[in-house]
Structure 1
Amino acid sequence: MERDLFDGLAHFIAVARRGGFTAAAEALNISPAATSKAIQMLEARYQAKLFQRTTRSVQLTEAGKALFQRLDRAALEIEDALQDFTASQSTPSGTLKLTVPHAVVGFAIEPVIARFVADYPNVAIDLSVNDAFVDLTAEGYDAGVRLGKAIDKDMIAVRLLPQARWVVVASPEYLNKAGRPACIEDLQQHDAILFRFPGSKTTYTWEFDQNGKTVRVRMPPKIVVDNHAAAVRLAKRGLGLVFAFDREVADEVEREELEIMFKGQIATDDGIFLYFPASMQSQPKLRAFIDTANSLARQGAEPAR
């Protein structure tokens, strides 16, 4: 396509719509002389007379009328397209693609999504529940959810929930069989169901708060899984101890399917965050999602169970 294909067309349409060079120049915010020169260059390029000029009026020629009829329809479609585009930049729309770990999706994200889709029906949600570390940009995600310490420094992070509280849980069946660990040192005598990040060769280290100091315990693995929900299910079957978020196992504890140990003795994490590249922060759909999450946090909304 020629670089100058559209040169002069805006001037031509403006003159034809307004019936004169002065009015067209005012609409285009240029001088009448510049408008007249643009038309002259357009006529010269296509070797066709577009306007009949007199001292009293400016009229389209027959060729000019034919061209204007087609260009005016196209110009109106372009104007509508640009208006829609502008509106889409200020109104949340499109698809919001998120990646969220299994452990937090139920209490950190599902309540936000429920409110968000009700308030913003023009936005679709594409949710990947995935415990692997994800390159948001490379894999086309708008945002992800992770613990603060797991987020790269070049990402923008918005807090979704305050400090994440961990617990050690096991089923009554397991505790009746193996005994209840009375102190951290007893843990080495127990079976553990350990979590390993997908793609990683290392398992998650359990951290405890002992007299103001963080004590890290590397448990001997009885079972290793790369899915938090699977670890909780295995614990309910009496296969060992699990290190989990308190909210992640709240239902199981309430139904007495799991029991909490070392409550108040486990180091808290720095919170659960929505994170995204700086280039994404101006997206209306993402801003609306953040506003929804903040609104629920201010209201003290609890996750739906």
Structure 2
Amino acid sequence: MRDDYSGLTALAAVADKRSFTAAATMLRVTPSALSQSIRALEERVGVRLLQRTTRSVGLTEAGARFLAQLRPAMASIHAAFESLDAVRGRPSGTLRINVPRLAITPVLEPLLAAFLATYPELRLDIVVDDGLTNIVEQDFDAGIRLGETLDKDVVALRLTSDLRMAVVGAPAYLSERGRPKHPRDLHAHDCINFRYLRSGAVYRWEFTDKGREFTVAVEGRLVTNDNALQVRAALDGVGLANVMEHTVAKELTDGRLIRVLSRFCAPFPGLFLYYPSRTQLPPKLRALVDFLRARPPEAMAP
């Protein structure tokens, strides 16, 4: 039974990571040991569960059905082991969190050292991911997201104040091209577009006018999936950028960037820690929730 469970854990890890090497790193075993566990499981059940090629690995149809039926039971077993931490009176183990890049500086950096010092037997595994990852399917304990992207069936804890977007440009660019008075004027400007890495879609700039929300598909000669590069390009006069207000606070203060269309950029819910609704939180997740609740939400306005 123990060998079977080891094989199931290995199978789930490879299915999630789509890589023997990445799965082995997560489980802290060698790739050869991981492969041996899965091979033993396949021999035990008499069905091939993984489809391997020289470039990729994935579940077979039978493997996908098998793992889908097993995941709820595996989650229960995992939770049962973690519940023993409460008996020991101290949180321990690995806490896996999925976060977007925009949460790193304002939320994570100020608390990491203090949190790890408070709970020396806890390990943090933080995956930076700007996609809308399903944290349950990918075996995360919790995630951080903008409030407007949260599902209704999760528990959410506010981490920051409301946020705003800011359309900004360099003084030299605006002097040459003029300042847009309305979002429809953006069609006459070079705009620095943002592309979502996972979906490949280009972000449509969002605005509000007299309570009416609308989007504008802007054009420009630069598209990127990196916010810092957007700001750098705006500073260099490449065009207008639409970025989080707090990320350009210093540049706005010292005049290297100028904000336009401010009245069309309404506040929206900030960042939240979220996790699946559970009757009893694992001690390691409870430790993080209590730690964050003791801290006031970060103010993100410039």
Instruction: With the length of structure 1 as denominator, give the TM-score of the two structures.
Output: 0.63
* 2:140 corresponds to: 141
* 2:201 corresponds to: 202
Stretches of structure 2 lacking an aligned partner (at least 5 in a row) = 2-80
Higher mean C-alpha displacement, 271-280 vs 163-172: 271-280
CA apart distance, 1:279: 4.6
* 1:72 corresponds to: none
Quickly say closer, same or farther: Cα 1:88–1:137, change in 2 above 3 A: farther
* 1:278 corresponds to: 277
Q: How many residues align?
A: 221
For residues 256 and 123 of structure 2, the distance between their equivalents in structure 1, rounded to whole angstroms, comes to: 36
* 2:129 corresponds to: 130
CA apart distance, 1:190: 1.0
Contact 2:167–2:260 under 8 Å retained in 1: yes
What are the superposed Cα offsets for residues 112-158 of structure 1, whole Å, 9 maximum, x if unpaired? Answer: 33432233233222222221221212322221111122223333222
Contact 1:160–1:272 under 8 Å retained in 2: yes
CA apart distance, 1:89: 6.4
* 1:180 corresponds to: 179
For residues 235 and 166 of structure 1, the distance between their equivalents in structure 2, rounded to whole angstroms, comes to: 15
Larger radius of gyration: 1
Seq. identity, %? 36
* 1:112 corresponds to: 111
What are the superposed Cα offsets for residues 175-219 of structure 1, whole Å, 9 maximum, x if unpaired? Answer: 233222222222111111122221213222222221222232221
* 2:190 corresponds to: 191
For residues 246 and 263 of structure 1, the distance between their equivalents in structure 2, rounded to whole angstroms, comes to: 10
Contact 2:168–2:241 under 8 Å retained in 1: yes
Q: Look up the SS of the partner of 1:137 in the other structure.
A: coil
Q: Look up the SS of the partner of 1:251 in the other structure.
A: helix
Quickly say closer, same or farther: Cα 1:280–1:150, change in 2 above 3 A: farther
For residues 124 and 200 of structure 1, the distance between their equivalents in structure 2, rounded to whole angstroms, comes to: 31
* 2:97 corresponds to: 98
What are the superposed Cα offsets for residues 63-86 of structure 1, whole Å, 9 maximum, x if unpaired? Answer: xxxxxxxxxxxxxxxxxxx9x944
1:183 alignment partner AA: H
Quickly say closer, same or farther: Cα 1:154–1:214, change in 2 above 3 A: same
Quickly say closer, same or farther: Cα 1:135–1:236, change in 2 above 3 A: same
Are 1:253 and 2:252 an aligned pair? yes
Quickly say closer, same or farther: Cα 1:197–1:279, change in 2 above 3 A: farther
Instruction: With the length of structure 2 as denominator, give the TM-score of the two structures.
Output: 0.64
Q: Look up the SS of the partner of 1:253 in the other structure.
A: helix
Quickly say closer, same or farther: Cα 1:130–1:120, change in 2 above 3 A: same
For residues 140 and 246 of structure 1, the distance between their equivalents in structure 2, rounded to whole angstroms, comes to: 32
Contact 1:103–1:229 under 8 Å retained in 2: no
Stretches of structure 1 lacking an aligned partner (at least 5 in a row) = 2-81
* 2:10 corresponds to: none
Q: Look up the SS of the partner of 1:296 in the other structure.
A: coil
Are 1:291 and 2:290 an aligned pair? yes
What are the superposed Cα offsets for residues 214-259 of structure 1, whole Å, 9 maximum, x if unpaired? Answer: 2322212432222222322222222121211111222332343322
For residues 267 and 89 of structure 1, the distance between their equivalents in structure 2, rounded to whole angstroms, comes to: 48
